[in-house]
C-alpha cells in the first residue's frame, strides 16, 4: 500500500488546475451547516474543486480529468452528509470518497479522487505558515482503498509540477471524531505558485472509501505574523497549547498599568467569552480559556481570535479549539 501512495505523489503533479487570483492567501472556515442538501447538486459558490486521475493496476498513470466544481451528491467525489456528527459537528458533514462513476476501476485500475480549494501565493505570503486543520472520522473505507488530507503547491511555470506535498494519512483513523492538521511555510520560491488544501481517496474495484470531515479551518499561524500581536508597550503571546482541548493559557504583558480586556471572538466577530476585564499592573499576566462561552456552554471546535484591548490599541492571536 505504501508503494501506491508514493506513486500518487509523483502522479499528482499531472493535475491540470484552475488559475488563482493574485492576492494574498486568505483564511477559510466551513462547518457545512449552511450547505445545500443533495437537491442543489453541488457545493454552490464555496469554491471546492474536484479532479480525478486514473492509473493501471501497476499504478502507472493513464489519464486525468477535471477540474470541475465539486459535486454535492451522487456517486462521485463527495457529498454533504447528515446525521454523522456530534455536538461539535452539528447536523451536516462533508463525506469524501472515490469516483464511482468512473467505470475504469472495474478492470482493476485505480481511480484517485481529489477534492480541494485553491489559491495563488504572492510575495506578501513569504515567511507565513498556513495551517489546514479539520475534524474527521472513519466512514465506510475498506478493502484496498486509502485516504489522506493534503497541502500541495503547484508551479504553473514548470508544467504544473508539484513542489510541495504535505499529507496526513486518514486510512486508519477511528470511527470517532478527532482533530487533525497539516501546515506549510511559504518561501520566496513559491511566489506565483498555486496553493491547494483538501482531501484525496484512492479506489479500485468499486471498494468502499468514505471518510467524514467537518469544521474545516484554513488559517495563518499567527506565531509567524508577529506584527499582529504587538503594540508599543503591549505584548500578546501565542496561546498554549494550540490547538487545544479543553483549555488553553493566554499570556500578555504591559509596560505600564492600565485598563485591559482579554476576550475570545469567533470568525463572525461575535464575542464568545471574556477572560480578563479590569485594571492591570505593569508586568506579565495570564488568563485561561476553558473552551466555554459566557453562559458556560462548550464552544464548538474551530478557529477563534483572542483579542487584547488596551488604551494603546488592540492586538490579537488566532487559536484553534479541537474536540
What integer pLDDT is reported at residue 243 of this predicted model? 84
What integer pLDDT is reported at residue 319 of this predicted model? 85
What integer pLDDT is reported at residue 75 of this predicted model? 85
Residue 55, H or E segment: strand 49-55
What integer pLDDT is reported at residue 221 of this predicted model? 81
What integer pLDDT is reported at residue 266 of this predicted model? 83
Q: Kindly list the domain boundaries of the chain, sorted by start residue.
A: 2-220, 223-321
Q: Residue 134's closest CA among 117, 149, 118?
A: 149
In this structure, the number of other CB atoms found within 10 A of the CB of residue 278 comes to 7
Query: Contact 133/322 with Cβ under 8 angstroms?
Result: yes
Question: Can you tell me which residue has the cell 496561546?
Answer: 239
Q: How far is CA 104 from the centre of its chain?
A: 31
What integer pLDDT is reported at residue 288 of this predicted model? 96
What would the 3-class secondary structure string for 245-259 be? CCCEEEEEEECCCEE
Q: What is the pTM of this model?
A: 0.66
Residue 5, H or E segment: helix 2-11
Query: Contact 89/152 with Cβ under 8 angstroms?
Result: no
Q: Where are the beta strands (DSSP E) in 56-177?
A: 61-69, 76-82, 92-99, 110-120, 129-138, 146-155, 161-169
Q: Which residues contact 230 (CB under 8 A, 6 or more apart)?
A: 236, 315
**In 34-47, which positions are buried (b, 16+ CB within 10 angstroms) versus exposed (e)?**
ebeeeeeebbeeee
What integer pLDDT is reported at residue 51 of this predicted model? 94
| Whole-number Å distance between alpha carbons of 299 and 314 | 23
| Whole-number Å distance between alpha carbons of 131 and 116 | 15
Query: What grid cell was written down for 99?
Result: 469516483
| Element counts in the chain: helices (H) and strands (E) | 1, 20
What integer pLDDT is reported at residue 102 of this predicted model? 94
Query: Contact 120/192 with Cβ under 8 angstroms?
Result: yes
In this structure, the number of other CB atoms found within 10 A of the CB of residue 123 comes to 10
Question: Can you tell me which residue has the cell 498554549?
Answer: 240
Query: What grid cell was written down for 144?
Result: 484496498
User: What top-level class would CATH report for the domain 2-220?
Assistant: mainly beta
Query: What grid cell was written down for 284?
Result: 506579565
| Whole-number Å distance between alpha carbons of 301 and 245 | 9
CATH code of domain 223-321? 2.60.40.4070
Query: What grid cell was written down for 213?
Result: 470531515
| Whole-number Å distance between alpha carbons of 256 and 285 | 12
For the chain, give the number of residues.
323
pLDDT digits (tens), the chain, 323 positions: 333 333 344 344 444 444 334 568 999 989 988 776 664 556 767 899 999 999 999 999 999 999 999 887 678 899 888 999 988 899 999 999 999 999 999 999 999 999 999 999 999 888 888 999 999 999 999 999 999 999 999 999 999 889 999 999 999 999 999 999 999 989 889 999 999 999 999 999 999 999 999 999 999 886 555 444 556 788 888 888 888 889 999 999 999 999 999 999 887 678 899 999 999 999 999 999 999 999 999 999 888 888 899 887 778 888 888 87
What integer pLDDT is reported at residue 40 of this predicted model? 52
As to burial, measured by CB atoms within 10 angstroms (0-12 exposed, 13-18 middle, 19+ buried), residue 110 is buried
Handedness of CA 78, 80, 86, 87 (dihedral sign): positive
Amino acid at each position: 500500500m505504501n508503494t501506491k501512495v508514493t506513486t500518487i505523489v509523483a502522479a499528482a503533479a499531472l493535475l491540470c488546475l484552475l488559475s488563482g487570483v493574485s492576492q494574498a492567501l486568505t483564511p477559510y472556515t466551513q462547518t457545512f451547516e449552511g450547505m445545500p442538501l443533495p437537491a442543489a447538486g453541488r457545493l454552490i459558490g464555496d469554491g471546492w474543486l474536484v479532479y480525478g486521475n486514473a492509473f493501471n493496476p501497476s499504478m502507472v498513470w493513464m489519464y486525468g480529468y477535471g477540474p470541475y466544481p465539486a459535486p454535492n451528491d451522487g456517486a462521485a467525489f463527495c457529498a454533504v452528509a447528515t446525521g454523522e456528527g456530534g455536538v461539535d459537528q452539528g447536523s451536516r458533514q462533508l463525506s469524501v470518497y472515490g469516483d464511482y462513476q468512473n467505470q475504469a476501476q472495474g478492470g482493476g485500475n485505480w481511480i484517485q479522487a481529489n477534492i480541494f480549494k485553491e489559491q495563488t501565493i504572492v510575495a506578501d505570503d513569504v515567511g507565513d505558515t498556513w495551517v489546514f486543520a479539520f475534524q474527521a472520522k472513519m466512514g465506510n473505507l475498506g478493502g484496498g482503498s486509502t485516504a489522506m488530507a493534503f497541502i500541495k503547491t503547484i508551479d504553473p511555470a514548470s508544467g504544473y509540477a508539484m513542489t510541495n506535498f504535505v499529507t496526513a494519512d486518514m486510512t486508519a483513523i477511528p470511527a470517532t471524531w478527532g482533530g487533525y492538521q497539516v501546515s506549510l511555510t511559504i518561501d520566496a520560491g513559491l511566489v506565483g505558485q498555486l496553493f491547494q488544501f483538501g482531501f484525496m481517496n484512492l479506489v479500485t474495484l468499486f471498494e468502499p472509501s468514505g471518510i467524514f470531515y467537518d469544521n474545516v479551518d484554513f488559517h495563518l499561524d499567527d506565531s509567524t505574523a508577529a506584527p499582529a500581536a504587538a503594540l508599543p508597550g503591549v505584548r500578546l503571546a501565542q496561546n498554549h497549547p494550540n490547538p487545544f482541548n479543553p483549555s488553553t493559557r493566554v499570556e500578555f504583558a504591559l509596560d505600564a498599568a492600565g485598563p485591559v480586556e482579554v476576550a475570545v471572538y469567533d470568525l463572525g466577530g461575535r464575542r464568545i467569552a471574556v477572560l480578563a476585564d479590569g485594571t492591570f499592573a505593569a508586568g506579565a499576566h495570564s488568563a485561561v480559556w476553558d473552551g466555554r462561552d459566557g453562559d458556560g456552554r462548550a464552544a464548538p471546535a474551530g478557529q477563534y481570535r483572542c483579542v487584547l484591548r488596551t488604551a494603546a490599541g488592540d492586538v490579537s492571536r488566532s487559536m484553534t479549539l479541537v474536540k
